[in-house]
Structure 1
Amino acid sequence: MLAVNPTAAFGRHALAGDEAARCLREAGLDVVVLRRDSMDALREAVDEALRTGAEALVVVGGDGMVHLGVNSLSGTGLPLGIVPVGTGNDVARMLGLPLQDVEGSCARVISALADGGRVLDAGRITTGGRTVWFAGAVSAGFDAAVNERANSWRWPRGTLRYTLAMLRELGSFRAINYTVTADGAETKEGAMLISVANAPSIGGGMRIVPDAAPDDGLLDLFIVKPLSRLALLAVFPRVFSGRHTSHPAVEIRRVRSVRLAAENVVAYADGERIGHLPLDIDVVPGALRVLA
């Protein structure tokens, strides 16, 4: 089954779904293509197709499509393939998949189908009586606020939107008072942001926890303590190379479960809006099989 997001990378890859279907069919695979006008409708169509006996799901798009796949497949044993043509592609980057290369990504999917692929951990969020899965990271703080601001704008498109939203957010953002319960131990944390990560990067290559492994049975708790605007701007470029980890305001530790609580703070997982804190987050080892 091939699920296609026609708005991946803001429409620049509108034909990627057709190209992926062609590549997979030329390899002798029976491909059912699913397209819908909204993510909610697509999610329902994917779940219905899985109930009728699909053997694998391949998603075409960015981290939002990966998020859909992870939530449809975690715990089922069915494999997820990724054709990454979105803007961020952090999960595909973690897996070493070729970005913006439909034919190359499909070749990886076909190869992995033959050998069973790779088994990863999945993060699990419990909030308001519902469960949400993630493959990359949950973030609540400055980066989530930037996402929230950027998503409220219609223009500009692409990564420039997030850069401008970050600069606007810097003007008003203040450190947040969190209550963090990590593996049962509660602490009060003043922080600019907190992420709970299963993968090294967020936001299209920001390597917040460069040593994170998605199959070690642990999550990486990433905390940035209060910083001035100038200090935050100075640290920010180092995140893309992973050279920020020695900064005294940065704390990283490995955990199995985290509860995050704070007033009026929104969380995002794999770039998708989850809702306001509090959230309960834990890791489920081996919950996700990927075609990579």
Structure 2
Amino acid sequence: MRLRLGRIRPHHRRFIEYSGAMNTDGVDDDLPFGLVVNPFSALGRGKRAAVRTARALAARGVRVVPISGRDAAHCREQLRAATGTGLRGLVLVGGDGILGLVLQVPEARRLPLGIVPAGSGNDFARQFGLPHDPVAAVARILAAESAPRAVDLGVVLLPDPERPGQKREHWFAGGLSVGFDAAVNRRANAIRLPLGPFRYHLALIVEVLAIAPRAFSVRWSRSADAGQDPAGRRAFTGLLATVMNIRAIGGGIPLTPQAEPDDGALDLLMVDACSTVRLLSVLGVLARGRHARLPEVRMERAERVGIEAGSEIAYADGEPVGVGPFEVSVAPGALRLLA
């Protein structure tokens, strides 16, 4: 779903600030955590989870600064303002969309980051087995403060519609989808029922019935290929060309079951066009993560990927990014994850 961030007021009595103390791990307990909330995650579950998260942090003597906004742009403004006051880290309450929003703010991206899953898909949180219960999630976040996990991020450069001839940068944690899976994501976002990950399954069924092959031109390379021809280049008519940093998207669909978010590489998945009947078989195998050997499927590991797909709109971390061409690269260890 698209982020629609309502304001959670800092003076609300359920977000009372508590004083902290220095610990022996070098963490400055006098600084608060920024509590970044999408209150509309999963049709309101985010707001309820945020209240429980704030209480769990307060019970451990941790101060919080609530961060939200009227919309995505306002939330980014609030993030920049809050990071300027000094924070020990960020705790995100929501799904993949709120993570994607935070990653677009450089000041926020540099802070240690913890997640309390409260969205519809929660694919990034699922990769690390993060608990949905706010009390358990807070305990795990605080336990990881002394040794955050270094996690890769993806960066995509694409045309900036507001500056003709210029490129803009978009960071992502999970994956960049172009084609069929992006269409599923778009249709799932439009479903307003509280179905959780089943929204993606319903959207997938509808998209299968309306399947339309796309024309793709893809190239990929590794560091060893610098200054040389790409390791691979492929033009094909197919269903999708997706670049993944984690194993699953769409509420747990294992597109790249071998992907690791800390190996300094991205996983590229390409699926050729096929009939609707054959597609049902391919999707059944894909749902079990056993599609690597299918003749319609090609998987590659790379550090840089270029994708051209005409007017196709790419999605990243559940939200629309824009129209390509797309130049994707990995940023090794760019995120300090409290997990």
TM over 0.5: yes
Q: Which of 51, 58, 62 pairs up with 1:29?
A: 62
Give me the whole-angstrom Cα distance separating, in 1, the residues matched to 2:257 and 2:205: 24
After TM superposition, give the deviation of residue 288 of structure 1 in Å: 0.8
The amino acid that maps onto 2:179 is G
Q: Aligned ranges for residues 74-89 of structure 1 at < 5 Å?
A: 77-89=110-122
1:176-235 Cα shifts (integer Å, max 9, x gaps)? 111112123432122211110111111110111111111111100011111211121122
Correspondence for 1:143: 181
Distance of 1:189 and 1:199 partners within structure 2: 24
SS at match of 1:204: coil
Offset at residue 110 of structure 1 (A): 0.9
Distance 1:56 1:26, change over 3 A: same
Q: How much has 1:239 moved relative to structure 2?
A: 2.7
Distance in 2 of aligned mates of 1:29 and 1:156: 32
Which protein shows a greater Rg?
2
Q: Which residues in structure 2 correspond to 1:11-30 (within 5 Å)?
A: 11-30=44-63
Root mean square deviation of aligned Cα: 1.9
Alignment gaps of 5+ in structure 1: none
Distance of 2:269 and 2:170 partners within structure 1: 20
Residue 79 of structure 2: aligned partner: 46
Which residue, out of 107, 113, 124, partners 2:155? 124
Give runs of aligned pairs for residues 5-16 of structure 1, distance below 5 A.
5-16=38-49
The answer on 1:59 being equivalent to 2:92 is yes
Query: Which piece of structure 1 moves more, 168-177 or 149-158?
Result: 149-158
**Which has the larger displacement, 163-172 or 29-38?**
163-172
Where structure 2 has 5 or more consecutive residues not aligned to the other structure, the ranges are 1-33, 160-166, 222-229
Q: Is the 8 A contact 1:207 1:242 kept in 2?
A: yes
Amino acid at match of 2:149: R
Offset of residue 39 of structure 1: 2.3
Distance 1:13 1:55, change over 3 A: closer
The alignment-based identity, stated in percent, is 41
Aligned residue number for residue 133 of structure 2: 101
Bigger mean CA deviation after superposition, 188-197 or 10-19: 10-19
SS in 2 for 1:15: helix
Among 193, 200, 203, the residue aligned to 1:162? 200
1:239-282 superposed Cα distances (whole Å, 9 cap, x missing partner): 33312222221111100101110112111011110011211100
| Correspondent of 1:257 among 276, 289, 304 | 304
Contact residue 57 and residue 69 of structure 1 kept, 8 A: no
Answer with 75-84 or 209-218: which moved more: 75-84
Matches within 5 A, 1:136-215: 136-154=174-192, 158-183=196-221, 184=230, 185-215=232-262
Change (3 A) 1:54 1:75: closer
Aligned residues: 290
The counterpart of 1:218, out of the listed 242, 265, 270, is: 265
Question: What SS does the aligned partner of 2:67 have?
Answer: strand
Q: Does the CA-based 8 Å contact 1:10-1:157 persist in structure 2?
A: no
TM-score (ref. length: structure 2): 0.80
8 Å CA contact 1:147–1:162 kept in 2: the answer is yes
